């Protein structure tokens, strides 16, 4: 089982290139991030080459103050496309494998139509690069357009692009739906990335309402081979929250 360090939450006290190196030293197999745009792509590319780690994904920009994405906002199609173009260009420079297109705060049929239109644009511009959409739970992101895996699955079906996939965040699914393993089983063909954190506190995946020992077994049984994203909020230094990773590595070596 392989793991990716989400550098939007882990080692945030470091620059992004330094965090990439820290993730490699900690034994992660890949990295991912949120919004890297204030860091030059060549410096990120250099750190990735130095460590040999792939960058799995990055997000489109949130937008202005109080926004959480633009792609489902009627009247903001031009801004949403510009954010997608920027993300894809950065992904190309850093050889990042996927771009998460953030929907934003919206609701209703017009927002859905806007999201479909914007996703079709993203998928066309991405070529073979993966485009991801992610449902966010209603507690952390009230009013976010995309809230459930059923809603995401219907959108993926309607867009009909082979490179549009679901970002399955076990934390969000547990908080909203509470049926993580059955949803993994049902949605596996359309899942492009899996992320983990404890629920409900979004800490390391070693405690809380979701028993990750069962999740690991389910992912192994389902044949999941891509690195799993550790997108959790550490309390204290990241290096002091990695016992879960060391335990899994030790178990795998026995």
Write the pLDDT tens digit of every residue in 162-215. 999 999 999 999 999 999 999 999 999 999 999 999 999 999 999 999 999 999
The pLDDT of residue 14 = 97
The proportion of the chain whose per-residue pLDDT surpasses 70, expressed as a percent, equals: 99
Per-residue pLDDT, 248 = 86
Task: Catalytic residue, from 13, 25, 32, 134: name it.
Answer: 134
pLDDT of residue 252: 64
Write down the residue that tokens 């991801």 correspond to: 132
**In the chain, how many domains are there?**
1
Cα 130 from Cα 163, distance rounded (Å): 5
| Whether residue 21 has pLDDT greater than 90 | yes
Question: What tens digit of pLDDT does each residue of 112-163 get?
Answer: 999 999 999 999 999 999 999 999 999 999 999 999 999 999 999 999 999 9
Domain membership of residue 197 as a residue range: 3-253
Q: Assess contact for 7 and 16: CB atoms under 8 A.
A: yes
pLDDT score recorded for residue 114: 98
pLDDT band, residue 250 (cuts 50/70/90): confident
Distance CA 229, CA 191 (A): 13
Give the global pTM: 0.96
Q: What is the CATH number of the domain that holds 215?
A: 3.20.20.150
Q: Is 59 left (phi over 0), alpha (psi -120 to 50) or beta?
A: beta
Q: Nearest-CA neighbor of 47 among 33, 67, 59?
A: 33
Distance (Å, whole) CA 250 – CA 76: 49
Residue 251: per-residue pLDDT: 72
Annotated active-site residue 13? The verdict is no
Q: Would you state the pLDDT for residue 254?
A: 54
Tens of pLDDT, residues 41-75:
999 999 999 999 999 999 999 999 889 999 999 99
231 is catalytic: yes
């Amino acid at each position: 089982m392989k793991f990716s360090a989400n550098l939007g939450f882990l080692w945030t006290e470091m620059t992004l290139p330094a965090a990439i190196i820290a993730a490699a030293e900690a034994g992660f197999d890949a990295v991912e991030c949120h919004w890297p745009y204030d860091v030059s792509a060549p410096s990120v590319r250099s750190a990735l080459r130095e460590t040999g780690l792939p960058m799995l994904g990055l997000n489109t920009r949130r937008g202005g103050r109080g926004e959480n994405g633009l792609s489902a906002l009627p009247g903001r199609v031009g801004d949403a496309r510009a954010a997608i173009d920027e993300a894809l260009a950065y992904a190309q420079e850093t050889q990042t494998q996927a771009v998460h297109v953030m929907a934003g705060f919206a609701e209703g049929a017009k927002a859905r139509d806007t999201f479909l239109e914007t996703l079709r644009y993203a998928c066309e511009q991405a070529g073979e690069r993966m485009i991801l959409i992610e449902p966010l739970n209603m507690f952390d992101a009230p009013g976010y357009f995309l809230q459930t895996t059923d809603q995401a699955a219907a959108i993926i079906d309607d867009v009909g692009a082979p490179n549009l996939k679901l970002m399955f965040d076990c934390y969000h699914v547990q908080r909203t739906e509470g049926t993580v393993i059955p949803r993994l089983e049902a949605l596996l063909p359309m899942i492009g990335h899996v992320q983990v954190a404890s629920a409900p506190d979004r800490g390391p995946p070693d405690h809380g309402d979701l028993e990750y020992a069962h999740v690991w077994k389910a992912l192994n049984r389902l044949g999941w081979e891509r690195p799993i994203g550790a997108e959790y909020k550490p309390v204290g230094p990241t290096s002091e929250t990695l016992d879960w990773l060391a335990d899994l590595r030790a178990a795998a070596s026995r």
